[in-house]
Amino acid sequence: MAKTPTIVEFPKMPELPKLPAGGLRLILLAVIGVVLLFNSAYTIEPEEQGVILRFGKYTRTTDPGLHLKIPLVEQIRKVPVQRQLKQEFGFRTVRAGVQSQASRRGFEIESNMLTGDLNAAVVEWVVQYRIDDAREFLFKVREVEETLADMSEAVMRQVVGNRTVDEVLTSGRQQVADLVEDRLQVLCDQYENGVKIEQVVLQDVNPPEPVKPSFNEVNQAEQEKETKINQAQQRYNEVIFRATGEAEQTISNAEGYALDRVNRAKGEAARFESVFSEYRKAPEVTRQRIYLETMNDILPKMGNKMILDGNLDGVLPLLNLQDSALGKAVEKKE
């Protein structure tokens, strides 16, 4: 390209007679020199690698820094090998930031898939990758990124297609991500696209929108179940703890009664023994004494006392019995 101006400039030479031919050549050479210099020096940024092609043929790969190449003959392709790249499936980040905004409209076709039990699930995921081999990346596969997206979707559906919808939605999430990561790498190696899969991250994994409310209903029902059981358990605990306490009380009461009963019996027996042994020494007198003492004790306490001559008969009907307790007792008898 730089040679063409040289050719075009020559016929104009006679029109510039004032300049000496040597000076013109010098200027021309200087221009060519500058052009060549700019064409031969190049910088590779820290995140890049440079791939040098000589007449289209790969010759070498250069690392970050300032380098020289043969001008015109060698071309350079810069590949950002250190940069982490990512692809999103089922959504696209509209504005990245602390609170990223994502758009889902139109990307449902990427995220809708069938599970192994022929249910539907909506899986959104991100594939983070890096260009591992600049040469393979440039020369082995056309449309590397589109291909990677296709591969990723195929692998994800393969893995999800072998699981139940419950597994995909709950316990199997991490397993799915790991498996997709591994298999996607295997496929990349097979395609020789120079890509290293860094990580596959499952984002939202949901049942399809129309089915969501019924999934929520299940969660709610599960909560209700827990609540009911907890309430019953709480009631159980309350009642049983109290009953246990009360049972212990009943037994303690019985034990108290038992002690009381036995001790009393022992005490009374001992008392009887003592009195009886004295009684045996003088039975008649003791009997008399006890009788009289008792009478002496109780007679003063009684309200109504009558003393009848034992020889009189038929006194009873004459007595004013109406307001005495004894009278009532007698009336009843009659």
Partner 1 sequence: MRYLGLIVLLVALLIVSGAAYTVPETEQVIITQFGKPVGDAIDVPGLHFKVPFLQKVHRFEKRFLEWDAQPTELTTEDKRFIHVDTYARWQISDPLLFFQRLRNESGAQSRLDDVLEGETRNAIAKHNLVEVVRSSNREPDIDEDQLGAPATLEQIEYGRERIRQEILTNSQARTGDLGIEILDVQIKRINYVEEVRLRVYDRMIAERRRIAARFRSEGEGDAASIRGDLERDLKKIQSEAYRKAQEIVGKADAEATEIYAKAYNQSADSRRFYEFLKSMETLSSTTDESTSVLLSTEGEFYRYLNKSGR
| Angle at alpha carbon of residue 126, lines to 217 and 147, rounded to 5° | 125
107 near partner 1, judged by CB under 8 A: no
Bridge-partner residues for 200, per DSSP? 127
251 near partner 1, judged by CB under 8 A: yes
What residues from 41 to 70 belong to the interface with partner 1 (CB under 8 A)? Answer: 53-58
Q: DSSP code of 18?
A: T
Closest contact distance (angstroms) between CB of 68 and partner 1 is: 20
* Binder of partner 1 out of 5, 33, 65, 161 (CB under 8 A): 161
**With contacts defined by CB under 8 A, how many residues of the chain interact with partner 1?**
124
Q: Answer whether 156's CB lies under 8 Å from 180's CB.
A: yes
Cβ distance to partner 1 smaller for residue 37 or 243: 243
What residues from 266 to 295 belong to the interface with partner 1 (CB under 8 A)? Answer: 266, 268-270, 272-273, 275-276, 279-280, 283, 287, 290-292, 294-295
Q: Specify burial of residue 214 (Cβ count, 10 A radius: 0-12, 13-18, 19+).
A: exposed
* Binder of partner 1 out of 63, 204, 248, 331 (CB under 8 A): 248
Q: CA 223 from chain center: how many Å?
A: 15
302 near partner 1, judged by CB under 8 A: yes
Closest contact distance (angstroms) between CB of 297 and partner 1 is: 6
* Binder of partner 1 out of 262, 282, 285, 331 (CB under 8 A): 262
76 near partner 1, judged by CB under 8 A: no
145 near partner 1, judged by CB under 8 A: no
Angstrom distance (rounded) from CA 157 to CA 58: 37
Residue 43: strand, helix, or coil: strand
Closest contact distance (angstroms) between CB of 175 and partner 1 is: 7
Closest CA to 113 of 175, 159, 170: 159
Bridge-partner residues for 120, per DSSP? 114
What residues from 175 to 194 belong to the interface with partner 1 (CB under 8 A)? Answer: 175, 190-192
Closest contact distance (angstroms) between CB of 46 and partner 1 is: 25
Angstrom distance (rounded) from CA 130 to CA 81: 6
Cβ distance to partner 1 smaller for residue 124 or 167: 167
Q: Answer whether 228's CB lies under 8 Å from 236's CB.
A: no
* Binder of partner 1 out of 46, 210, 314, 317 (CB under 8 A): 210
Q: Answer whether 82's CB lies under 8 Å from 48's CB.
A: yes
What residues from 124 to 143 belong to the interface with partner 1 (CB under 8 A)? Answer: 138-143
Give the chain's end-to-end CA distance (angstroms, integer).
154
| Angle at alpha carbon of residue 263, lines to 262 and 265, rounded to 5° | 65
334 near partner 1, judged by CB under 8 A: no
333 near partner 1, judged by CB under 8 A: no
85 contact partners, CB below 8 Å, separation of at least 6: 128, 129, 130, 131
Closest contact distance (angstroms) between CB of 56 and partner 1 is: 4
Angstrom distance (rounded) from CA 300 to CA 322: 23
Angstrom distance (rounded) from CA 332 to CA 225: 70
* Binder of partner 1 out of 82, 84, 100, 171 (CB under 8 A): 171
* Binder of partner 1 out of 265, 282, 285, 331 (CB under 8 A): 265
120 near partner 1, judged by CB under 8 A: yes
Closest contact distance (angstroms) between CB of 102 and partner 1 is: 21
* Binder of partner 1 out of 217, 282, 285, 331 (CB under 8 A): 217
Phi, psi of 320 (to 5 degrees): -80, 100
What residues from 5 to 24 belong to the interface with partner 1 (CB under 8 A)? Answer: 7, 10-11
Residues 323, 325, 326, 331: is their CA dihedral positive or negative? positive
31 near partner 1, judged by CB under 8 A: no
